[in-house]
Structure 1
């Protein structure tokens, strides 16, 4: 080392530290890189992204290359500093110890911690260009990597650890949901809401989005023809379920526009004229999940379905528009549904008046509550289940932290309730 100038030795040491820093930074960046973004770039023709993905598919070999390189570089750096210390200050143990401590400090700060933080902060920016260097190095170092891994394989077998297991990088629905939530700064709020609603479609049934039986507008062919005419001229929907007698006897679906054309004819109308216009009804089991039903609507070219329970009793109806609204929000409409209290919230006193037929899902969504959804679908049904009785007005109870006061009871059902926020609770007589 005496023949090598001191400044050349320092430059060599700096180069070793920079080289070690490169491997540490490249390793961290590769491990932190977003595979989905890399696949997107690769599909768009990025050669560096393709190379990076190639390296990530051989993680064990990349790690072996980096560790072998860093170990050799660190050993050379330590040896070089020791040689510099001896040539400069002589064979003094204290000087050699201090020189070793100094090089260890330099390696920790400049070749380990700092580059790894940088690699984790800018993974794609560093991993893409670094892959261009790492891939040829892997080819050159293949014999050394194979030789080292030979001993590693033997050691792993001795401790009964299997290697070579392919990681499953597919994301679960919950992981996808988390990605959408965390990507809020990149995804418009409306688009984020639509994506989150799509994830929920498989977890809810058509019963959650249907128009309940009591609110279904249907045409009864057993009533006088004048009543049928009046209903057709005042109905709000383009298609009506048609039944004879009680609503469980659905005989078909009537296209209202076609039926209105009959009203202008001079011939005397009979129910047979309307029966001739009926299309077969489309029935749906009440437990069908919404996503599956959306596919069924597409496959069967249907837009309206009658929901029935296990006994064949009509529970309500669901339309294609109902499912679309569940995904993207409600449309502007002039139907009676527009007058419903679909948009509600807490008032200044922390209270909210609701109809008993309001669904629990809507209440949880608009009021940020946690009312149970695994039983009845409406607030009326939930209260009747809890009380096991037809209550009187002014009875209060608390469910999952929300105080609910029964305001009006009529015809064996709860018509109006008042919800009271936890912060706005006053001294009300509660019934558990």
Structure 2
């Protein structure tokens, strides 16, 4: 009964090709699986993800068990094809050559390429399923895999490719994390993605990048008449004001208007009273990283600092709100702010205050003005010209045309920026 053994042999060959395809698929699946997603699933108690991570942590043994069975099956399939060919056509060379080509084609299409494409496409779903049989096979063949890996490790040491202790090949750099966030647009909402990207920049920017420039700081001068000071206090949009004594650099301290309000109900306001209510100022070096300053504010229950340069000259003021807005964007405050109204007019231009922060201009208008030097539009124009500009002067910084609209006290008070041409 020759038909029965031949049919059995063909069925066995088909079964071998299926198992070979499964091992090929498992190899691609385990190598292509997202380890961070597996770790998330494992932290939620997923047994398959936990097993998959354990296998991936011993890559040599994982690949050893997969390739051991895969090669044994492929060798058995090739031998079986030779047996079938001899039974059908005898010991003919052309028949054996044709059989070799046939089994190569079958293995390549049905046991290699197709399974690996499927495994790569559905790696995360299949990895948690393949982890169970692979862990079992590794357990029962552990000594064989260990023996084989002795030679593998010896070869790696000879060619100096053996991994060093503590080597974390799957650790991500900041730039790689940034790329992952950018490419996760379909998973992370736009606003959340923007916050995460801003967080990556906190280590690269300083308080000088986010501070309110010295020229835009509102404060009171104790050398002014008390009537003028009282009027200024009554119309201020801020709860804390700097207190000067004659010169802007001579900062006495910070006045909290809530404390002043309680005192004004009981007595008359005068200069001596203001001096007694002023809190000691806190100074911040201009090169302090924003992230470090945020930590200091949190640990010391502070909300405001005065930014000074290496000579102690006052450059500006930074608050915890400035740092938070750098991370999450502008939010509603009680003070009028034109920053949120920055947008191109119909003629492709926008009118901007000279003290406006360059980083904010770039962010809101989609420009690429240099921020590694001056931090404000006024500073950029003055540095570019190396002189105090006159009203009506036009310049081009990179591909951005800028026109000086108004100057005052050696400062650019207002400028018009034109949208770069394509």
TM tier relative to shorter chain: over 0.9
The CA distance in 2 between the partners of 1:72 and 1:254, in whole Å, is 82
Per-residue displacement from partner, 1:269-303 (whole Å, max 9, x unpaired)?
43222223222212111111111111110011011
Does 245-254 or 31-40 show the bigger shift?
245-254
- How do 1:385-404 and structure 2 match up within 5 A? 385-404=383-402
Q: Is the 8 A contact 2:52 2:128 kept in 1?
A: yes
- Give the Cα separation in 2 of the matches to 1:160 and 1:305: 54
8 Å CA contact 2:82, 2:100 repeated in 1? yes
Q: Is the 8 A contact 1:390 1:412 kept in 2?
A: yes
Report the more deviating stretch, 210-219 or 154-163.
154-163
Aligned length: 421
Q: Residues 392 and 405 of structure 2 are in contact (CA less than 8 Å); yes or no, is this contact kept in structure 1?
A: yes
Looking at structure 2, the residues matched to 98 and 20 of structure 1 have their Cα atoms a distance apart, in angstroms, of 21
Counterpart of 1:194 in structure 2 is 195
Query: Which residue pairs with 1:32 in the alignment?
Result: 32
Partner of 2:284: 284
Unaligned 5+ residue runs, structure 1?
A: 425-432
| Whole-Å separation in 2 of the counterparts to 1:268 and 1:152 | 88
Q: Where does 1:9-408 land on structure 2 (aligned, <5 Å)?
A: 9-163=9-163, 166-265=167-266, 267-336=267-336, 338=337, 340-408=338-406
SS at match of 2:421: helix
The answer to whether the Cα contact below 8 Å between 2:215 and 2:355 also exists between their aligned partners in 1 is no
Partner Cα distance (1:122, 1:422) in 2: 45
Deviations 1:197-251 (A, max 9, x none): 1111221111111111111111222222222222221111111122222122222
Distance 1:159 1:196 in 2: 41
How far residue 354 of structure 1 moved from its aligned partner, in angstroms, is 2.1
1:229–1:263 CA contact under 8 A, matched in 2: no
Post-superposition Cα deviations, 1:355-411, rounded to whole Å, max 9, x if no partner, equal 222221122112222211111111221122122122333433322222223333333
Inter-partner Cα distance in structure 2 for 1:421 and 1:269: 50
Q: Quick check: 144-153 or 76-85, which moved more?
A: 144-153
C-alpha change, 1:204 and 1:100, in structure 2 (3 Å) is same
SS at match of 1:202: coil
Looking at structure 2, the residues matched to 365 and 163 of structure 1 have their Cα atoms a distance apart, in angstroms, of 43
Whether the aligned pair in 2 keeps the contact of 1:286 and 1:307 (CA below 8 Å) is yes
Name the counterpart of 1:428.
none
**Contact map agreement 1:233 1:260 (CA 8 A) in 2:** no
Q: In structure 2, do the counterparts of structure 1 residues 268 and 135 end up closer, same or farther at CA, with 3 Å as the change threshold?
A: closer
How far apart in 1 are the matches of 2:251 and 2:79? 91
- For the 8 Å contact 2:60–2:149, the answer to whether it is kept is no
Shift of 1:268: 4.2
TM-score (norm 2): 0.94
Q: Normalised by the size of structure 1, how large is the TM-score?
A: 0.92
Q: Deviations over 1:90-111 (max 9, x none)?
A: 2222122112111111111111
Describe the superposition over 1:71-104 as per-residue Cα deviations: whole angstroms up to 9, x where unpaired: 1111110110111111122222212211211111
Cα 1:350–1:144 change in 2 (3 A) is same
Structure 2, unaligned runs of 5 or more: none
Q: Which residue of 2 aligns with 1:427?
A: none
